[in-house]
Structure 1
């Protein structure tokens, strides 16, 4: 997110958990408002929970600064509240206290990270990740407007940009250590086929394309431009973990991107 400096000064609504304002500021965003702060400013927007509905109709506000973008850092706790208020921001062009006859398009810039659809915890079945929340938001936006929700930036696995950033950090470490020979092969080790393995395979495909087209064309699409990179390939390794992942294997999710070679580590009995 630090790479998107053009949005650091904009007023962004931030969604997720934990110290959201502090986390956003660490990433460079100087002017953020949380979903809870927006809900407090406009109580009538959050109507799903009957216990939280306002007992009286509050006076309309016209002193709330317009929101200029959406920052999605992770899955929130109250999905219905976040989905509703983020949609209000997008459909009102950043002025949720008002209404527009037609939804603006292109909509306000949306930045998102942590795109895992599912993840494994102590439960026997996969748990919803932030990718599931993003899918809900995309589906609602498409159903309401008839148009696609567009992201200005997607960070985290399986985004190619994340692997490019990791490659750059590895290159810098090699320089500090005084390694003369360039690093030509990277290994991406992870336990989630839908993000770790899939992202590494996408990055490997990008590296193969860069061999023939060079990085200038891909740089124009918003990805980091490679600085005479010597990296030739990236191998994905699905590591053994004690967590159950049979649900993913049974559905063939571990065979992501079959056209690309994937190196996997599995236990002798074939379980993750």
Structure 2
């Protein structure tokens, strides 16, 4: 069994991370990356003279890539670490595709061979949600996945690779019921190209249920979980479906819970009637895209949904909150998961005989461009192994050079290569 990270009753294990499969496509070769002269002597040695007691964790967007274009000196930074057998992993709040596809793409763009075992996307930990996998096929139970390509089903396929059954998308629901949302008709044909038949019919009876109505709901579509894998594309459609489910009875789309706004119940009865839990894979408000200004991300969608929920329910002043789980950087959960992955990769890279893993790992350098995710997460993280996490902010992404970071890092540098230099010097590596 692969090593895992435990949070209460949930154990985070991902065969994608610990399989040891290398993503290099058959027949593909990588051209040597030019390393600055001052470091060329490192490449001549077969191995460093000692085991490094430090490692690196890299964000991707704004650190290694800007949209799909490599940031200058990113390839050199990773190649240098590989030549010195200094462990690193990639930890991104991005996603929306399979880990294997993303690693192959990064290997190709950066011209550095990477491995599935040192790569974590925002939604990779979703693979641990065993309670929502493969249940109730005969009863029409399904998991709703949101995000990814416009109307496409890439995220659906990723969820299925994690072991989820009966995965549906907003596009499936809209293709089956175009009257569900009146303002995306121009996208209907596109949705139909990627949609699948629903595993059960949607309930279309009286939405106000009375005691004993459960019998009428049997064999209708019931959503057991909502997973926001990636930034939503059609916010109006996605918001409408999520809101319908959060107000539903037992997750049956097309119903309204009789407990909503019940004054004597916790949370005024909202989300107290078996509605599906809501998971977000990351909280990023902004991300560095091809446009010169940062673009709104999944965190903006979450904030929009929070504001809508306050308007619908009377708001927090009425004692109502939106219950949800938010993963990704800067959460403690994601950083603990990442440290576990780093330990596994370090042991594999340096050899089991060295007694590595997380033992003797004194410093981890988190290299990121976003003060609110990369830097805040590293600053706040309390390693159960006593490892010190050091945040290094680069100027090539979300952070605006010359501004005061909302969360101050240990160092601000020009780019990722400078960050690697800073970390190696800080750890006394020569």
Identify the structure with bigger relative contact order (alpha carbons < 8 Å, sequence gap 6+): 2
Match of 1:144 in 2: 312
Match of 1:70 in 2: 226
Q: Does residue 125 of the first structure (1) align with residue 282 of the second (2)?
A: no
Shift of 1:60: 3.3
Helix, strand or coil at the partner of 1:48 = coil
Structure 1 residues 237-258: Cα deviation after superposition (integer angstroms, max 9, x where no partner): 11242x5743x864x4x231x5
1:166 to 331, 334, 338: 338
2:387 to 209, 232, 242: 232
Name stretches of at least 5 consecutive residues in structure 2 with no aligned partner.
Answer: 1-125, 136-141, 189-201, 206-216, 261-269, 416-430
> Does the C-alpha gap of structure 1 residues 28 and 202 become closer, same or farther in structure 2, counting only changes over 3 Å?
farther
2:160 to 10, 15, 25: 25
> Does the C-alpha gap of structure 1 residues 49 and 34 become closer, same or farther in structure 2, counting only changes over 3 Å?
closer
Give the distance between the partners of 1:52 and 1:187, measured in 2 at CA: 44
1:188 to 360, 366, 372: 366
Helix, strand or coil at the partner of 1:2 = helix
> Does the C-alpha gap of structure 1 residues 263 and 77 become closer, same or farther in structure 2, counting only changes over 3 Å?
same
Q: 5 Å matches for 1:71-90?
A: 71-90=227-246
In our comparison, the structure showing a higher alpha carbon Rg is 2
In the alignment of these two chains, the number of paired residues is: 232
1:95 to 252, 258, 262: 252
Contact 2:286 2:398 in 1 (8 A): no
Give the distance between the partners of 1:99 and 1:52, measured in 2 at CA: 27
1:255 to 406, 416, 430: 406
Match of 1:60 in 2: 204
Give the distance between the partners of 1:142 and 1:59, measured in 2 at CA: 26
Match of 1:265 in 2: 413
Give the distance between the partners of 1:128 and 1:37, measured in 2 at CA: 25
Contact 2:369 2:399 in 1 (8 A): no
Structure 1 residues 27-86: Cα deviation after superposition (integer angstroms, max 9, x where no partner): 332221111112233333212346679xxxx99376532111111011121111100111
Contact 2:134 2:164 in 1 (8 A): yes
Give the distance between the partners of 1:40 and 1:102, measured in 2 at CA: 30
TM-score (norm 2): 0.49
Moved more, 113-122 or 65-74: 113-122
Shift of 1:134: 1.1
Give the distance between the partners of 1:32 and 1:249, measured in 2 at CA: 45
Match of 2:143 in 1: 12
Contact 1:124 1:244 in 2 (8 A): no
Name stretches of at least 5 consecutive residues in structure 1 with no aligned partner.
Answer: 208-225, 268-272
